[in-house]
Structure 1
Amino acid sequence: MLHTNSTLTIAIIDDHPIVIEGLQKILIRDLPIQEIQEYHLGGDFITYLKNTDKKIDLVLLDITLPDISGVELCREIKNISTETYVLGFSNHNDRSLVMQMLAHGASGFVVKNASASELITCITEALNGQITFSEEIQKIIAKPSASQLKSIPPLTKREKQILQMISDGKTSPEMADELQLSLFTIETHRRNLMQKFEAKNTALLIKAAIQLHLI
């Protein structure tokens, strides 16, 4: 847990000096800061992190940097220092980007137009081990993704059976033999499944079925 008498070392990685300057003022005013480090390139911070014993409590990480993507940088930071919390900090509010950051170990995501109080709340929650988002990101996360909105196509009992067999890696001749159906019938079912799921190949068919929790 974060205590009020704790002192924090925070790194800001952003290629806009004016953004870093503004963040420093907010952090020093509202948090018990020991040190604020600033980096304009992700590679510079990785080099530092690999060669220091100093604990970096939290990184405010811009997603668009000149030398490396924020998503990849987040992954590298967490690989080197699992105890360092990472907050995505960006003008971009794309849902898939936020989810990629979380998948690579980020503790949350804050848009740059968030208020100072939102930022401090998110930092505090991250330092306390929570997953946290600024208000705008909370609304985006709450919206279902396109795959979640996609309706489940109506399938016959036989189509469900064949879909499962396809996901198990069975070939059309194997399915025809097991189900005692003609190869033509199996191929017809496969073609119908492709059309219903709007899939161009078997891999995309299986992916769509998994997203809809059908297999």
Structure 2
Amino acid sequence: MKSVLIVDDHRIVIAGCRRLLSKGGDYELFEATTADEAFIRFAERQPDMVILDLGLPGMGGLEVLRRLLTEDPHCRVLIFSMYDDPILVARALQAGAKGYLTKNDAPEELIVAIEAVLAGEVYLSHSMARELAVMTHRPGRRPDLTPRELDVLRLLGQGLALGEIAERLGISYKTVANTCTQMKDKLSLKNTRELIRYAVEQHLAL
């Protein structure tokens, strides 16, 4: 029996994963809804693999991934996220994830992904694999950004929400939002998603 740790702050997602896995194979399942809880469960249970959401409160998913791999370099992590930007997918794979699945993919694909990762393979949906194959990185000149703007941009690239960034930097939510607006103007970007993409392309999310 293979053991799987599901890390997601939405219990309805955890419940859905449990239902799917109960029908798709013989798994011992554990769960965590925060990063700190995930580290405790991981140390206690030493699961065969981890299903990890990128949008955990308090700590960016990529940071959680890196810490898990620091504790166990052989850890098999499948990212299961609402984010479908191929640049974030590439960053997760570079950080050591063994697969990436979005919450918009077909439910049965989760079983396929888990089996592939447990077998030692890297799993991506066909559509995501195609997007990664044609994606090119074109870092350009960075306009002059202030130290605060760079800090906010780096944390955006790590997957933190605006409120989490405010708490991490010890500033107000309004200050973070205004800083994002200023950066969008400087960089000629339309929205926060494009800011995140820019942070990753410029290798600021490390």
TM superposition score category, shorter chain reference? 0.5 to 0.7
Give the counterpart letter for 1:126 in structure 2.
V
Does the aligned pair in 2 maintain the 1:111–1:136 contact within 8 Å? Answer: no
Q: TM-score, normalised by structure 1?
A: 0.61
Residues matched between the structures, number = 140
Please report how far the alpha carbon of residue 135 of structure 1 lies from its aligned counterpart in structure 2 after TM superposition. 3.1
Q: Does 1:47 align with 2:43?
A: no
State the distance in 1 between where 2:126 and 2:99 align: 12
Partner of 1:30: 24
For residue 139 of structure 1, report the CA deviation from its aligned partner.
2.8
Contact residue 12 and residue 59 of structure 1 kept, 8 A:
yes
1:16 aligns with 2:10: yes
Which one scores higher on RCO, CA 8 angstroms, separation ≥ 6?
2
- The equivalent of 1:103 in structure 2 is 94
Give 2:131's match in structure 1, choosing from 140, 151, 156.
Answer: 140
Q: For 1:103 and 1:46, how far apart are their aligned partners in 2?
A: 21
Which position in structure 2 is the counterpart of 1:3? Answer: none
Partner of 2:65: 74
User: Would the aligned equivalents of 1:119 and 1:134 in 2 still touch at CA under 8 Å?
Assistant: no
SS at match of 2:16: helix
- Correspondences of 1:1-215 after superposition (within 5 Å): 7-33=1-27, 35-50=28-43, 52=44, 54-147=45-138
In 2, are the aligned partners of 1:60 and 1:86 still within 8 Å (CA)? yes
User: CA offsets, 1:11-69, max 9 Å, x none?
Assistant: 11111111111110001110211x2111110111113333x2x3301111000110211
Shift of the alpha carbon at 1:136? Answer: 3.4
Asked if structure 1 preserves the Cα contact closer than 8 Å seen for 2:4 and 2:48, the reply is yes
Post-superposition shift, 1:84?
Answer: 2.4
**What TM-score results when the alignment is normalised by the length of structure 2?**
0.63
Structure 1 window deviating more from structure 2 (134-143 vs 109-118): it is 134-143
Output the CA distance in 2 between the equivalents of 1:48 and 1:12. Answer: 10
Q: Secondary structure at the match of 1:72?
A: helix
Asked whether the equivalents of residues 20 and 108 of structure 2 are also in contact (C-alpha less than 8 Å), the reply is no
Matched residue of 1:129: which SS? coil
Contact 1:57 1:127 in 2 (8 A): yes
Moved >4 Å (runs of 4+): none
Distance in 2 between the 1:140 and 1:47 partners?
35
Identity %: 29
Q: Secondary structure at the match of 1:59?
A: strand
Matching residue of 2:175 = none
CA distance in 1, matches of 2:112, 2:95: 22
Structure of larger gyration radius: 1
Confirm or deny: 8 A CA contact 2:32 2:41 kept in the other structure.
no
